A and B are shown apart, each in its own frame.
Chain A
Amino acid sequence: MADPEKSQEDERKSPAFGVVATLLGVFAFIVAVGVFFSSQYYTSPSGTVVAQSLGTTEVNGQSMPHVALNFQTYPNSTGSRNAQGTGPGSVPVHSSGSDSWPAYGMSNVFQVPAHSLVTVTVHQYDSGGPLNNPWFSKVHGTQDGTATVTTPDGTSSTVSSWDQNNIGHTFTVRGVPGYDPNFFLSVPLPTNADLPNNEGSASNQDNGQSYTVTFSFISGGKGTYAWNCEAPCGQMVAAFGGVMSAYGFMSGFIHVV
């Protein structure tokens, strides 16, 4: 037979237990949601583009790894899918947003080794227009402060800036607090609207009508760096809404390992 006093005591304890259990449950739920979104934030459904090793090189008398990083900028994110080929392996650069938005491809997440010479090659398939701030028409943070622009016919020019009224996108990388906050890199990517057979359609993207921009920089210390486009290629206020305010198309991360 149950002890009535003990039973009353259990009844008194049970509300406290319920409160504690509820609080713990809510706390665990919040942590789980935070961990989930945090893990999604630094990744892309199309994977991570890992820089390819080119061996070692010497910069200013110092030997360091040399890697190549290649990516593209597309007038719409279907270009990123097409570049991967059709079928199950074809995934958007990010799960949200619109296919009609311009996008970096095939991913917006890159990986390079720390303290290495990184040679970047960008195929710029998109059109563009004027910048909000001409400062971004200049090349910042690359080796020698220059980039090389190659036209489809193979003609190259080394530039330290580009016409501020004809910029498609910029590749702008910055250090984030905790990881080499002084690191900064920004390279303008010329619009290719003047190239023939380019109206920004997915089919024309495959025609290879692009400017090719090549530049090198020395990566910082290990950590995660943020990059984004600083050309007003979005919608709404100052053309920085829409695609520019949605993670995954004109912004991403570089994991320095």
Chain B
Amino acid sequence: MSFEQQFDAIENEITEEGDAPPFFSRPGGKIFIIWLVFTAIGVVIGVFAPHHLLPGLQSGTGSDVWATIVFFTVLAAPVAAFVYALAFYSLLAWRPKKSGSSDEPPPDGPPQRGNGPLTILWVGISTLLVIVLLVWGMTVWSSQQVAHDGALQVNVTGQQWLWTYEYPGTGVTSRTLELPQDRPVEFNVTALDVIHGFWLDTMGIQTDANPNENTVIRTTPTTLGGFVVRCSQLCGLNHAFMNNKGSVVTPTQFGNWLVSQGATTSAAAKSADVPESSLTPSSTSTTTAAPMNTGASQ
């Protein structure tokens, strides 16, 4: 007896009717309808939920990540919906009718073996889905690995329990991350103690900060505004407090910020890639490190 014949026999037995009912009145048809509904719900959630659950976007990398999440969710929706539909229908339709009664659950269906077309179908669909996801993921990933000439270098150091950011060539090290708009940035990420996770969710980038290792991650901020840098690896006692504010500003504002942090106007202009004349010299004098245990003054 073929699989279809076995399945029909079971369905007929369940429905207790001699003639096979219409497809949508049989369990298979009902599961199919439930699957369609669940798939539609999953697709709607996949398309619209990110607008409510994901942070705002401040870079092309973030847009790529957003699109990837939506695409993967939509592709996964029919698969998940099939599992849920099957479970949902089974729990409702094939349960004992009365709690505590002596009704026995219906007999198990026949083993799903020896059905070549069905096997080819699910293996084929699974393979196709995985290949599509792999190609999509590798394409997005490789697009983020492209180095840009003239990218702003930022040395990111994680330690328990603070991030510090060094801007090479300016002498500026800060605990806040300032980035110029529309300028490629290369983050050189490392750690001083344990493994931390450098995570800018609005930029769509995250990488581990490993001791004695330099990991490069790139993005191009496109949207002005603030963001939060978080540690994404559980790193110890005050991990929960290991976050700080950052912001994307115009190149001129970025240059002026470097000056306010102690950089010379020439170094700031070079780093910000703006004319030196566009920067405002800092009105506040920078503090100078005092030597150790010397120069007592009352």
Contacts and interface: CB of A to CB of B under 8 A. Distances in A.
Interface of A: 8, 11-12, 132-133, 135, 137-140, 144-146, 151, 155-163, 166, 172, 174, 176-177, 181-182, 184, 190, 194, 226, 228, 230, 237-238, 240, 244-247, 251
A4 to B, nearest CB: 14
A118 B211 CA distance: 37
B161 A228 contact: yes
A162 B292 contact: yes
Nearest to B161: A228
A101 to B, nearest CB: 13
B290 A160 contact: yes
Interface in B226-240: 228, 236-238, 240
Contacts of A159: 289-290
Contact of A163 (B238, B240, B292): B292
Nearest to B175: A184
A247 B193 CA distance: 18
| Residue among A146, A177, A194 with the highest chain B CB neighbour number at 10 A | A177
Contacts of B173: 135
B115 interface: no
Interface residues of B, number: 35
B193 A132 contact: yes
The 10 closest A-B pairs by CB, nearest first: A163-B292, A238-B193, A160-B287, A159-B290, A161-B289, A155-B296, A145-B287, A132-B192, A12-B100, A226-B241
Nearest to B191: A238
Given A158-B297, A240-B236, A251-B238, A166 B160 contact: no
Contacts of A230: 159-160, 162
Contact of B193 (A11, A138, A240): A240
Contacts of A228: 161, 237-238
B192 A181 contact: no
B61 interface: no
Interface in B270-298: 287-298
B220 to A, nearest CB: 25
Nearest to A159: B290
A158 B290 contact: yes
Contact of A156 (B160, B236, B287, B298): B298
B215 to A, nearest CB: 18
A177 B194 contact: no
A177 B192 CA distance: 24
Contact of B293 (A145, A163, A245): A163
Contacts of B161: 228
B296 A157 contact: yes
